[in-house]
Structure 1
Amino acid sequence: MKPASHHVTRCRRCTAPIVWCLTSANGRRQPVNAVPDEEGNVAVMQGADGVLYVRTVTAARPDIRPGEWQAMPHHATCTSPPPRRNNGGQRAASGAVRPGPWQR
């Protein structure tokens, strides 16, 4: 099964066809390759509301159910990923006051 054409868009970095899905675990957006992949570790399905939902294929739930298609997360295959952050994802303080000794 393939996604409907109105769901397919392009990655801004590598221009590969992707679909945006909501994760079933926490409702966050996740890009997934639009082309089904037998080696993929996620299953995508379209909900009754027309939104695409994605779940991880695990040992506990390895089967692809009717209406789902197996795919690969786009982060795993993007040929031009964003640069990695080395500060743990936190932004550096800009315009911060330099700490000094406490005075009464």
Structure 2
Amino acid sequence: MIPTKRELRACAECGRPILWTVTRAGARMAVDPRPDERGNQACYRIAPRTWQSRSLDGTDALPPAPHEHRFVPHVATCKGRKAAPPATLPENVIRLDPRRRSARRR
């Protein structure tokens, strides 16, 4: 099932159309608007302009049902994602990433 144009919104980062879905946990997830066999989200319409999604990645995940179609999460294809921080920082700036990782290992 392909979403209608009224169900699509523009991504704030790249401007491409996206479909907002609601996961079974109640969180919102953006997916690309066209079904794709490489996708890891099973999505289906539950009401007008409302789509449900569930992950197909877990060990206990069931394959897509006949009424579900595979979609790719938009975060995997978004061209407007922010770039990583620069490799060299000014002298008065301390990078916290390595310290956070080491704190988690303790």
1:70-85 aligned within 5 A? 70-82=70-82
Length-normalised TM-score, structure 2:
0.68
CA distance in 1, matches of 2:33, 2:96: 32
Alignment partner, residue 53 of structure 1: 52
* CA deviation profile, 1:42-96 (whole Å, cap 9, x unmatched): 01111146521110013433421122110110111101114679879xxxxxxxx
Matched, 1:44 2:46: no
Length-normalised TM-score, structure 1:
0.69
1:8, distance to aligned residue in structure 2 (A): 1.1
Alignment partner, residue 93 of structure 1: none
Task: Report the structure, 1 or 2, having the larger helix content.
Answer: 2
CA RMSD of aligned residues (A): 2.4
Structure 2 residues without counterparts, runs of 5 or longer: 86-94, 98-106
CA distance in 1, matches of 2:53, 2:31: 9
Alignment partner, residue 64 of structure 2: 64
State the AA in 1 paired with 2:69: W
Structure 1 residues without counterparts, runs of 5 or longer: 89-104
Name the CA shift for 1:47/1:84 in 2 (closer, same or farther; >3 Å).
farther
The total of aligned residue pairs comes to 87
Alignment partner, residue 21 of structure 1: 21
1:4-15 aligned within 5 A? 4-15=4-15
